[in-house]
Amino acid sequence: MPALSPPRWSVRSRILGVILLITALGMTAAGASAYLLQREQVLDVIDEELFTAVEAARAIATGLPREAVSGDGEGDAADAPATPEPVAAPITVDDAMIRIMQGIIPGRSESSVALIDGEPVYSPPIAVEFQLFDDEELLDRIRTETEGGVVTIGTAITEDGAIRYIGAPVRIAEDPAEGVYVTAYDIQGELDDIDGAFARYTAFAVLTLLVIAVVGWFVAGRLLRPIRELTAAASRITGTDLSERIPVSGQDDVSRLTETINGMFERLDQSATAQRQLLDDVRHELKTPITIVRGHLELLDADSPADVDATRALAIDELDRMAELVNDIDALAQATGVSVLTEPTDVGDLAQQVYAKARGIADHHWQLDTVAELVAPLSPTRITQAWLQLADNAAKYSPAGTTIRIGSTAYDTAVELWVADEGPGIPADAQERIFERFGRADTGRGIAGSGLGLPIVAAIARGHGGYVSLDSSAAGSRFGIVIPLEGDAPAPPPAAGSLAAPDSAPPSPAPGGTA
């Protein structure tokens, strides 16, 4: 039997649940604290009233005004009017108990009883909410507790509920009888008011939680709407369509998350587009050599050694061209997919090294022109690769025996590492196309290549935060790799095919060494 997975709660539900739980806990703690505090105050007031009643009974039994025996001078000890002047003291316990029961009238939730020689004799002269007269168990307990003339206070559970009572012995000289005055409060009756208040508070708290739940549900839904839209957008996105974007509203964390996700979608879209373009281009470029080889193999006369040799040579040449194409694709992927780590590099020394390597390319006259003597932040390996690619292009597309110059020039905020040839030049309408994958200028300038050399150079320049410059005419072309830096020199040339020529051309390089 498969195990049951726990229910999955939405973020909206979890947020609302946490808010309601914290709010409920806070309301419960506040309400319970207030209730317990008020309950304790009510119990304290009950005890004060019980002791006050005992003081009033003592005043009546001794014939003194209650103000004289209350101890606080305020005269608030009993419900009956205080006797302002001394009166004749009772001469018997029975008389004293009659005066006490008539002088101290029980209030709400209060009752009393007078005991003489352990037996209940007198009850309150008015109707009370509960009776002590017939509760033998409670009266036996009080008789036991008050033996020896001790005033006792306590709590008892009776048929009427919990009561708080006090028992005060009453004795009169020359009367052998023993009396006990007992008064008690119904605790629950005294707590009814705060219980009712707490019940109203509970109802209000529940209503408040319901209001918070409704409002919180809509507020959380509004705040989380971008996330739901993000989920819906992500479910709609496929490998062939990454154009979906999520509307951004507000300036909060969710809006920033939406912007970040949109940026991720943008990068994924660009990456997928580049991959599709690369695959389409590779398929197109490989189709021709494969078709050529297949056609010659189908027409091959196996009995003709000359035909076999010619087909073999053609197949090897086409396979070499495909291998070169694969290597160029790999170089382009490395140039565009890996971050460039730069280091302070002496541009003059680097120019000397590139010049020494370029001299190995035959059929041309190589010349080291003006060299900028400065230190620039760049990757020597990557820049050497790109610079030699420009030199190789110049050698391919320039007539044999012509001069190719290598040099570098410092400008205001950049340094340009350039190669200038004496080839036929590049038409203006082709100067952007040659930087695209497999893009070529249809000028018959020389040997056809893979069409990936200049895109590799442009990718390396972009990895350094720079670009490739181009100045071409019928007298030749000048390609440059522009790397940003700080300095005090003229502005660098614009990027190839993307900006208009500057108002004033950069200073021409001075003649340098020749080979």
Measuring CA to CA, which residue among 370, 331, 345, 337 is closest to residue 454?
331
Report d(CA 168, CA 431) in Å as an integer: 117
**CB-neighbour burial class of residue 515 (10 A; exposed 0-12, middle 13-18, buried 19+):** middle
Range with lowest mean pLDDT among 60-74, 93-107, 375-389, 429-443? 60-74
> What's the pTM value of the predicted model, to 2 decimals?
0.49
**pLDDT one-digit tens code per residue, 236-249:** 776 667 777 777 77
Q: Where are the domains of the chain?
A: 11-193, 253-333, 340-514
Contact 468, 480 (CB under 8 A): yes
The DSSP line for 193-252 is HHHHHHHHHHHHHHHHHHHHHHHHHHHHHHHTHHHHHHHHHHHH-BTTB--------SSS
Predicted confidence at residue 13, as pLDDT, reads 86
Other beta carbons within 10 Å of 133: 18
Predicted pLDDT of residue 339: 63
Nearest CA among 104, 103, 129 for reference residue 190: 129
Cα 5 to Cα 2, 8, 13, 14, 369: the distances in Å are 9, 9, 18, 17, 75
Cα distance between residue 205 and residue 211, in whole Å: 10
Correct CATH for 11-193 of 3.30.450.20, 3.40.50.2300, 2.40.480.10, 3.40.50.2000: 3.30.450.20
Virtual CA dihedral for 418, 422, 428, 431, nearest 10 degrees?
A: -40
Please check the confidence at residue 30 and state whether its pLDDT lies above 60: yes
- 47-104 residue pLDDT tens: 999 999 999 999 888 877 644 333 333 434 444 444 455 667 888 989 999 999 998 9
State the average pLDDT for the chain: 80
CATH number of the domain located at residue range(s) 253-333 in this protein: 1.10.287.130
> Looking at domain 340-514, which CATH architecture does it have?
2-Layer Sandwich (3.30)
* pLDDT value, residue 50: 92
Gap between the Cα atoms of 262 and 244, Å rounded = 8
Task: Tell me if 384 sits within 8 A of 350, measured CB to CB.
Answer: yes
Given a contact cutoff of 8 angstroms between Cβ atoms, the answer to whether 121 and 97 are in contact is yes
